[in-house]
Structure 1
Amino acid sequence: MATIRTPAVAGLFYPANPQCLLENIGCLLSSAQVSRCLPKVLIVPHAGYIYSGVVAASAYVTLKLIAECVRRVVLLGPAHRTFLHGLALPREAIFATPLGQVKVDATAAEKIARLPQVSINSSVHALEHSLEVQLPFLQSILEDFSILPVVVGRASVDEVSDVLDCVWGGEETLIIISSDLSHYLPYAAAQREDNKTAASILELHQEIDHTHACGATPINALMAVARKHCLIPHLLDLRNSGDTAGSTDRVVGYGAFAFMSQDVPKRTGYAS
């Protein structure tokens, strides 16, 4: 029998009731501004939906026209709960959410598990929210897909870039980098810092550190791989918790970005 990674933050970061969760995500997606981007890679925040859900939705709504093509989602997010050297895959074969189960891509997992920087570590995944909160959005939009969930700890940019290169794939593969931006600055200071970080991402500069984004290492790795694959980054939304829910005294920044191939044709009927 396949082992299952059960939800750790259902009822905390997002609704545990399936119907409430679907309604929550439906409202977030319906209010998101539609972009013309047809992404290969998304950078998406990972806070509770009340805080960053509207920003995450601006990224996920871009998947609606490519949903039928995507069969594998590579998820990279930072380790929050457990110290980790390198990168970690789960031992579990299935990730569960209130909306059902998603299979881990065993073939892709076996492929990157051969890399020396990648370990199998279920304890790192057990309570980690940065990947889990992305799954209900994906389940609400995509049809038949598997995931490759990778938690990133203390690793070099080259080590993460090697993993991305290994599973880059074609149009069947979507890559998601899970990251929030600045943490616990006053509202105006957070805006200044997050605008600088967004500008660096849009210019594909590998100069982001962990005070700018908790997922700095996978973001910097993406910058290198994006240049190699001639991807064009687009800013979809940039806000902080002072804009969405909570005080403006100490806020957390959230950004959504889509990376699109120069070769992807624009599709008609996709409203601007």
Structure 2
Amino acid sequence: MSNVRPAAVAGYFYPADRNQLASDIRMLLDKTTVKPGSACPKALIVPHAGYIYSGQTAAHAYRLLEPWAQTISRVVLLGPSHRTFLRGLALPSADFFATPLGDIPIDTETCQRLAALPQVHVIPTSHISEHSLEVQLPFLQTVLKTFSLVPMAIGLASPQEIADVLDLCRGGQETLIVVSSDLSHYQAYEQARIHDTNTLKHILSNDGQISDDDACGAAPIRGLLYLARDLGLKAELLDYRNSGDTAGDKDRVVGYAAIAFSEAT
């Protein structure tokens, strides 16, 4: 009998109804455009708030994948652990992750290889209610159709530890790395824009000087930047806005960015 991690935030962060969810994602994707000749991204940084807040920003990253739907067959997904204190990186024990759009198979072979690393642990409880990974899945299901998943919740881990994990499973063009992260939290609108602009300058220059105050997924971002420097990947900002631009007030906002990393040409 298969072990399925059920959707935990359907109906809260995104619609629980399959048809409504599919329609909302398609609408968000159709509002974006992709430059002709865009390269296949090796990695993405994508926000993880409710879709009414950050869905349009996320759509800018996921629309970029549509021409490569037949190429990408595995997604390595990293996001911060919001509810469970962790040291290192946590894998699930599940065979599938479920959303209203269906079940996604876990790449159990890769997970078993990763679990042999000292910084990686199988901790099912870290995934039970974690939204940072789950909210990415319906977008991925829409644009890629069929793929396997390597999901990891990130706690206290060094950039080198995370980069070593990514290096072990980065593969070729068939593998996409997705880091789930919002930016600054609960500052006034203009202050947040200044803060986030500075953070984005560090990310876009592959400078890993990102603190936990700059992004809730700072640890996986730092690990990705470490790997990006080794691989010579170039970062491109696809979209930036905050909750004051979308569905919230401007007194206490959360920042969102979509960033793609591709091989330099």
Q: TM-score range by the shorter chain?
A: over 0.9
C-alpha displacement at 1:220, in angstroms? 0.9
SS in 2 for 1:170: coil
CA contact (8 A) 1:37 1:258 kept: no
Q: What's the offset of the Cα at 1:224? A: 1.2
Q: TM-score, normalised by structure 1?
A: 0.95
1:157 aligns with 2:159: yes
Q: Which residue of 1 aligns with 2:136?
A: 134
Question: In 2, distance between residues paired with 1:194 and 1:38?
Answer: 26
Q: Give the distance between the partners of 1:230 and 1:7, measured in 2 at CA.
A: 36
CA distance in 2, matches of 1:53, 1:92: 26
Task: Look up the match of 1:70.
Answer: 72
Shift of 1:37: 4.2
- The TM-score normalised by the length of structure 2 is 0.98
Over the aligned positions, Cα root-mean-square deviation in angstroms equals 0.8
Q: Hey, what's the Cα distance between the residues in 2 that align with 1:186 and 1:224?
A: 31
In structure 2, what is the equivalent of residue 180 of structure 1? 182
Paired AA for residue 33 in structure 1: T
Measure the CA separation in 2 of the matches of 1:148 and 1:77: 11
Structure 2 residue aligned with 1:268: none
Tell me which of 252, 263, 272 is aligned to 2:254.
252
Can you list the C-alpha shifts for 1:98-147, whole angstroms capped at 9, x where unaligned? 00000000111011000011111110000000000000000001132100
The within-5 A match list for 1:165-244 is 165-244=167-246
Tell me the residue number matched to 2:90: 88
Shift of 1:38: 2.2
Cα gap change, 1:255 to 1:37, in 2 (>3 Å): farther
- Aligned residue in 1 for 2:3: 3
Q: Distance in 1 between matches of 2:157 and 2:78?
A: 12
* Structure 2 CA distance for aligned equivalents of residues 16 and 144 of structure 1: 21
| Paired amino acid for 2:34 | V
Aligned counterpart, 2:108: 106
Match of 2:120 among 118, 121, 128: 118
- List runs of 5+ in structure 1 lacking aligned partners: 264-272
Q: How far off its partner does 1:19 sit?
A: 0.3
Distance 2:150 2:183 in 1: 23
In the alignment, which residue of structure 1 is the partner of 2:34? 34
Structure 2 Cα separation of the partners of residues 19 and 144 of structure 1: 18
- The answer to whether the aligner puts 1:19 opposite 2:19 as a matched pair is yes
How many residues of Structure 1 are paired with residues of Structure 2 in the alignment? 263
Of residues 175-184 and 154-163 in structure 1, the stretch that sits farther from structure 2 once superposed is: 154-163
Distance 1:82 1:111 in 2: 23
Partner Cα distance (2:114, 2:7) in 1: 24
Distance (whole Å) between structure 1 residues aligned to residue 79 and residue 40 of structure 2: 22
For residue 65 of structure 1, give the secondary structure of its aligned residue in structure 2.
Answer: helix
